[in-house]
Amino acid sequence: MTDIATLERDVLAALDAAADEAAVEDLRIAALGKSGSISGLLKTLGAMTPDERKEKGPLINGLRDRVQGAIAARKEALGEAALEARLSSERVDISLPVQDGPESRGRIHPISQVIDEITAIFGDMGFAIAEGPDVETDDLNFTKLNFPVGHPAREMHDTFFFAPDDNGERKLLRTHTSPVQVRTMLAQEPPVRVICPGRTYRNDSDQTHTPMFHQVEGLVIDKGAHLGHLKWILEEFCKSFFEIDDVKMRFRPSFFPFTEPSMEVDIQCSRKGGEIRFGEGDDWLEILGCGMVHPNVLRNCGVDPEIYQGFAWGMGIDRIAMLKYGMPDLRPFFEADVRWLSHYGFRPLDLPTLTGGLST
Amino acid sequence: MKFTISWLKEHLDTDASVAEITDALTRVGLEVEAIEDRAAALSAFTIAYVIEAKQHPNADRLRVCTVDTGAGEPVQVVCGAPNARTGMKGVFSPPGSYIPGKKITLGKGVIRGIESNGMLVSEAELELSEDHDGIIELPADAPVGQPYATYAGLDDAVIEIAVTPNRADALGVAGIARDLAAAGLGKLKSAPIQPVPGRFPSPVKVTLDFVEEGRKLCPAFALRLVRGVKNGPSPDWLQARLRAVGLRPINALVDITNFMTLDRNRPLHVFDAAKVKGDLTVRRARAGETILALDGKTYTLTDEQVVISDAHNVESLAGIMGGEASGCDDNTTDVLIESALWDPLNIARTGRSLGINSDARYRFERGVDPEFTQAGLELATTLVLELCGGEASEIAFAGELPESPAAIDFPWSEVKRLTGLELPQPEMKLALTALGFHVSGTGERVKVAPPSWRGDVGGKADLVEEIVRIAGLDRVVSTPLPRIKDEVVKPVLTVLQKRTRIAKRTLAARGLVEAVTWSFISHDQAKLFGGGSPKLALANPIAADLSDMRPSLLPGLIRSAQMNADRGFPDVALFEVGQVFKSDEPEGQLIAATGLRRGTARLDGTGRHWDGGGKAVDVFDAKADALALLAGLGVPTGGLQISAGGPAWAHPGRSATLQFGPKGVIGAFGEVHPKILKALDVKGPLVAFEIHIDTLPLPKSKPTKVKPKLVLSDFQPLTRDFAFIVDKAVAAGDMAKTAQGADRALIANVGVFDLYEGAGVEAGKKSVALAVTLQPTEKTLTEAEIEAVGAKIVAEMGKRYGAALRG
C-alpha cells in the first residue's frame, strides 16, 4: 500500500514543481500515458483475484482520478499565469492621439445651412422652392417689377450689366431674386406659394455690403391672401428660424416699386455686450421688406389683380445668418478661410429639421 | 430730411412730446433715423445768480463765488473765469453733471483749500461754441433755477427722417406736418399764402426754347423781379433754423431759397438781376458749353442737359445748381426769383452725370408739387419783401402746368380685401381727406382725387396704403394662412435641389469644407477654364479681377486653397456646390459640385501622424471623392466610363473624364496641371474633381418604393488569386473588368490587390494581382469547376492583354 501512497505523493509534488504546461504534459504522460506509472498499476488489476481487485481497485482508480484532477487544475493555473504574462507584455500607450475623422473635419457653409433651415420652415407651410438664373434680362429684373424708366437701381452704379447685344438689350446680374417670382407667375396658375433663395448682386462693396450676397424672397398669390396673412407668416418664420418662443415685430410703411402697400419690418431685440437677442429688449432691428404685390406687377405677369392678390417679402440670407449665429462681419462669408469656415460652419450631419430642431 | 420740433410747430398745432412725434413719424412711414436732443444733454445746467464773488485767499486768479442756484441754500463755487463777478447771472453745473466740452463728470472738490460745489460754465464747456474766454453771462432777467437749454432755445430737438422715393411731399416740413395731422397728432396750421401784387411788369422775359417732346423738360417757369432790396445776413430765427439742420447761412436772399426748399419742398433760384444780361432762355445746353456753378466747380455740359441762359451765358444748371456769375451777394439790389418745374428723369440723369447732389436736384428728381409753382414764388416774394425790402414786379410765366391726375374709382372694401383690416368708412374717408385727397360720392364706391403733391398715387392699392398707414399697420391682425389643402405637406424639392443638398453633405462628410466663392472671376482665369466669352463679361465689374462669370468653380477654389496656404494652412480640402456659366441664357447656368485637396489633406487624415500619414494627396484621392459623390447621390454607376485623360486643367497622365456614353460627360477628376498652377500662381500638390449635377442621369421613377428582392446564396463564396505579367500600358481596371466578364454567373467580384514593377519583372512590364471571388448559387463547386473558371480567366487575359501568369 505504501507504494501507492508514495507514488501519489511523488506525482503531486512533481506537478506542484512543474514550471509550465509542457512539464505538466510530461508528468501526465509519465503517470497516465500508455506506459505511465499509474497506467502500469491499473494494468495489474487484470491479473488480480477478485478479492484482491475488490481491495486494490478503488485505491488505484482513486489515485488515477486524483492525479487527473490535479493535472487539470495545474494546467489551468499555469494557462492563466501565461495569459496574464502575455497581456502585461502587450500594453500600448493608449494616450497616443488618433487622426480626426473626415466627419469631424468637414463643414457645411452657414449659407447652405440657413437655406436648409428656411426650406424646412417654409416647406412645412406648403411653399415650394423656386430658382432662376443669375444672369437676367432687364425686363424680368426691372420692367415687369414696375421699376420706372430712370429708376436709380437701373444704373450702372447699382447694378452689374453685361455688354448690350445687337438689339441694344443688355443683360444684368439679378439685383434680387424677384425675377424668379416673375418667372413663377408667368409659368404657373395661382394659387402660388414659393420661396426663392439665391445669389444676388449689387455694385456695392463696403463693411456691410459685398457685391454678391444671398436673398430669399417669398410669394403668395391667391384669392384672399392679405396683409394679416403676411404678418402671420413672417412672425411664425421669425419665431421658428430664430428658435424663440415669442417675437415682437414692427411693420413700418415703406416703398418698393413692386409692392403696394409696402412695408419694412423691424424685429424687437436687445443688444448686450455685442450680442443681439430677439424676443427681449427695446431696440428695433430692420430685417426685411415686404408688401402686397403691386397690381402692375400682377398684370405684367398675366395675373388679373381684380381676381387675384398676394404678397411678397424678401430678406438677406447672409444677414439673418449673421443675426442668428453671430458672425460680426459679412465679408469673410466669401473668403473661404478654413479657420472661419471651421468655426462658423456646420457639421456634415447637422441636418436642420422642424422635428429635431433647426440647430443642435 | 432734417427739421426741428419748433420748425414743425410752425405748421402743426400740437401738444405732443418729441417721443410721441417721432413714434408717429415712423408709424406713418417717415422713418426716424436720428433724434438729436440737445436739451436732454444739457438738462443738468441751470440759470444761477452770483450773490457774491470775492478773491480766493490762496490763488490770484481764482474767485470764490456764492451762487444762488434757485434750489435751496446758496452754494460755494470756486471759479477761475476772469468775468466772474458779484451780481452776474450765469449757468450753473452741479456736482455729478457731465460736462460735454471737457468730457468729465463734475465732482465736489477742494481747490487750493476752499471747497467748491459745482461750477459756472463757459459756452465751450457746453460745446455750444468755441468761446472759452469766460463763463456764460446772461441778462439780468434770466430766471434763476430754470434749465438753461430751455431758456436759450436749445431744447429744440433735431429730427432726421428717411423719406422713401415716393414721398417727395415729405421733403418739406409742411408736408411732414400734414402727415402728422392726419395721424391725429395735432392740427395743420401752415400760414396761408397771400399773392403779392406786382407793381410793374417784369423787365426780364422768359422763353422756353424747346421743340416737341423736349417741352416736358420744363413744363412751366415763373419769374419775377424784386428791385431795391437790401441783402445781408438773414435774421436770427432763419439762421438758427438753417444751422439746426446743418446748413450754413449765406445771405438773406439765398437763405430764403434754402428755407423754401426745406419748408415747402419748393426749390427756387435767385439771380442777381444786375448780372443778368437781357432776357432768360430755358433750353438744352449746347455740347461743350461750360458753367462755373455755385459750388465753385466748372461743369462741361451736353445737349442732354437743360440750362437757363441770359443773352450771353449759361446762368444756371436748371433745377440743380445756379451759376456763380449771377449769384446774389451783399451788394445785390435787384433780384430775379425763379420758380420752375423740371422733368424729374432729366434732373436725375444730369445730376448723376455731373456728380452734383444738391437739395434742389434731390427734390426735383422726386417731383415737386406742380400747383405750388406760383404759390411758392408768392411766398418767397413775401419773405424777400419782409427781410430785404424792395418792390416786386408782376410774374412772368411761361409754359403750362400739367393737368391734375385723374380721380380713382375706389370701393372702400378694397382696404379689407388687401389688408384684412375692417375700418369704418368715416375713418377711412377722414384719413384721405386729412392727407389732401378729395373724396366724392357716397356709398360703397367713391371717387378719390389725389392732391397735386401726391404724384405717386395712381391706383386703388395706393389709396389702401394711405388709409392703413394713417390707421396704423399695427391694427392689421396677424391671421394664420390656411393650407391650400388640409393634408400633410407633400415634398417640394426638385431632383436637382435634393441632389445639391445631398452633394454638399456627402462632400462635407468626406472631410471637405464648403466654401462660397465669387460668381465672377478674372478674365484670364475664366479663359483658362474654358470661359471668358464677351457675353459673360461684366460691363462694369466692381474690380478688375471680378469681371467674368465663372465657367468653373475650380479657379475660385484653387485660389482660396492657396490663400489658406499663405496663411499657414497648407493642407486644406475645400468644395463648393454652385452655379457655373456656359452662356448668358438660363440653360447655360449649371450646378457644379467641385472639390479639391491640397497638401496632405487626405480622407483618412491630414498632416504628419505617428501612425503613418503625411502622404501627399494624389489623383486617386480625387477619384475617390468623385465616385463617393456619385454614390452619395444614388447615381447608378454601372454604365459609368472613366476615360483616361481629363480637361485642360488637369495633368494629362493623371486625370480622367467621367462619362455615360460618348456624349454624356458628367465631370472629371485629376491632378491640377502644372501650367494651371503656374498661371494661378499657386503651389501643389493639388488634386480636384468636378461633377455637373444637372447632367447626371435622372433616377427612374418607379410605381412603388419596394426595393428589388434580396437573393442570398446558401453556398460560401471563395476567392482565387492570380498574378499576371503584362505590358506597363495595360490598364488594371480593364483587366479586372475582363476577368469579371469571364463568367458572369459565377464571378461576383474582382479586386486588384497588388501591383509590382522591378526586380524579377521584365523591364516595361508589370505584375498585376487579381483577387477573384466566386459565388456559387446552386451547389458547392468542385475543384475541377473552379479550375475551369480560372483557366477561362487566364485565357482571356492572354488573348486581350498578352498577359501571362506570373511564374
- The answer to whether residue A360 scores a pLDDT higher than 80 is no
Looking at the structure, do residues B146 and B161 belong to the same domain, yes or no?
A: no
Torsion of CA B511, B516, B520, B525, to 10 degrees: -20
Flag whether B201 is in a domain.
no
- B contacts of A225 (beta carbons < 8 Å): 481
Using CB atoms, pick whichever of A134, A163, A342 lies closest to residue B513: A342
Distance CA(A95)–CA(A104), nearest Å, equals 20
Residue B518 belongs to a domain with what CATH number? 3.30.930.10
| Of the partner residues B419, B514, B556, the one whose CB lies closest to the CB of residue A108 | B514
Domain A107-344, CATH: 3.30.930.10
Over residues B308-330, the pLDDT tens digits come to 999 999 999 999 999 999 999 99
B667 & B741 share domain: no
pLDDT, residue A1, reads 46
ipTM: 0.90
- Given this model, what pLDDT does residue B377 score? 96
Indicate yes or no: CB of B609 within 8 angstroms of CB of A345. Answer: no
E strand or H helix at A83: helix A50-89
| Closest CB from A133, A205, A260 relative to B586 | A133
Q: Which domain covers residue B395, as residue numbers? A: 206-399
Q: Which residues of A touch B348 (CB under 8 A)?
A: 150, 152
Question: Mapping DSSP to helix (H, G, I), strand (E, B) and coil, where does residue B504 land?
Answer: helix
Does A264 contact B31 at a Cβ distance shorter than 8 Å?
yes
Which pLDDT tens digit goes with each residue over B601-619?
999 889 888 888 789 999 9
Is residue B177 assigned to a domain? yes
The domain spanning residue B218 has which CATH number?
Answer: 3.50.40.10
Distance CA A199, CA A210 (A): 12
CB-CB contact of B21 with B141 (8 Å) = no
Task: Kindly report the backbone phi and psi dihedral angles of residue B345, in degrees, each rounded to the nearest multiple of 5, phi listed first.
Answer: -60, -45
**Own/partner pairs for A201-207, CB < 8 Å, 24+ apart?**
A201/A134, A201/A159, A201/A160, A201/A173, A201/A174, A201/A175, A201/B519, A202/A158, A202/A159, A202/A160, A202/A175, A203/A156, A203/A157, A203/A158, A203/A159, A203/A160, A203/B540, A203/B542, A204/A158, A204/B542, A205/B542, A207/A329, A207/A330, A207/A331
> In this predicted structure, what is the pLDDT of residue A235?
95
Residues from chain A contacting residue B419 (CB–CB below 8 Å): 226-228, 261, 292
SS3 category, B110? strand
Residues B571-581: tens digit of each pLDDT: 999 999 999 99
Q: What average pLDDT does this structure show over A312-329? A: 94
Statement: residue B644 has pLDDT above 60: yes
Mutate to test the interface with B, among A92, A99, A184 (most CBs of B within 10 A): A99
Asked if A255 and B166 come within 8 Å (Cβ–Cβ), the reply is yes
Q: How far is CA B340 from CA B48, B318, B470, B634, in A?
A: 52, 9, 32, 70
Whether B234 and B319 share a structural domain: yes
pLDDT over 60 (residue A2): no
- Find the helix packing angle between B425-434 and B460-471, rounded to 10°: 100
Q: Where are chain A's structural domains? A: 2-89, 107-344
Q: Using an 8 Å Cβ cutoff, are A233 and A268 in contact? A: no
Instruction: Indicate whether B532 and B630 sit together in one domain.
Output: yes
Q: What is the CATH number of the domain that holds B793?
A: 3.30.70.380
- Chain-chain contact of A253 with B469 (C-beta, under 8 angstroms): yes
Domain count, chain B: 6
Segment B196-224 shows an average pLDDT of 93
Report how many Cβ contacts below 8 Å link chain A to chain B.
259
* Yes or no, beta carbons of A105 and B573 under 8 Å apart: yes
Asked if B474's CB is within 8 angstroms of A226's CB, the reply is: no
CATH code, domain with B85: 2.40.50.140
Query: Does B345 lie in the same domain as B219?
Result: yes
Task: Evaluate whether residue B580 is within a structural domain.
Answer: yes
* Residue B525 and residue B666 in one domain: yes
Same domain, B24 and B92: no
Short-list B391, B386, B371, CA closest to B198: B391
The answer, yes or no, to whether residue B136 has pLDDT greater than 60, is yes
| Residue in A97, A233, A338 closest to B569 by CB | A338
Contact B497 A260 (CB under 8 A): no
By Cβ distance, the residue of B349, B517, B542 closest to A334 is B517
Residues B361-393 pLDDT 10s: 999 999 999 999 999 999 999 999 999 999 999
| Cβ neighbours of residue B659 closer than 8 Å, sequence gap 6 or more | B640, B641, B643, B665, B666
For residues B300 and B349, state if they share a domain. yes
Residues B500 and B628 in one domain: yes
Residue of A nearest to B590 (CA): A133
Closest by Cβ to A135, choosing from B494, B589, B604? B589
- Flag whether B481 is in a domain: no
Residue of B nearest to A203 (CA): B542
A218 CA to chain B: closest CA distance, Å?
A: 14
pLDDT tens digit string along A322-342? 999 999 899 999 999 999 999
Residue of B nearest to A343 (CA): B513
CATH of the domain at B33: 3.30.56.10
* Residue pLDDT, tens place only, B744-796: 999 999 999 999 999 889 999 999 999 999 999 889 999 999 999 999 999 99
Name the residue among B360, B259, B353, B256 with its Cα closest to residue B303.
B353
Does a structural domain hold residue B194? no
Pair B354, B212 in one domain = yes
Q: What per-residue confidence (pLDDT) applies to A288?
A: 95
- DSSP assignment of A218-273, as one string? EEEEESS--HHHHHHHHHHHHHHHHT-S---EEEEEEEETTEEEEEEEEEEEEEET
B560 contacts A150? CB cut-off 8 A = no
Shared domain for B336 and B288, answered yes or no, is yes
Same domain, B10 and B58: no
Contact A288, A314 (CB under 8 A): yes
What's the gap in Å between the CA of A40 and the closest CA on chain B?
A: 49
CB contact under 8 A, A126 and B534: no
Which one of B31, B518, B584 has the shortest CB-CB distance to A171? B584
Q: Is the pLDDT of residue A283 over 90?
A: no
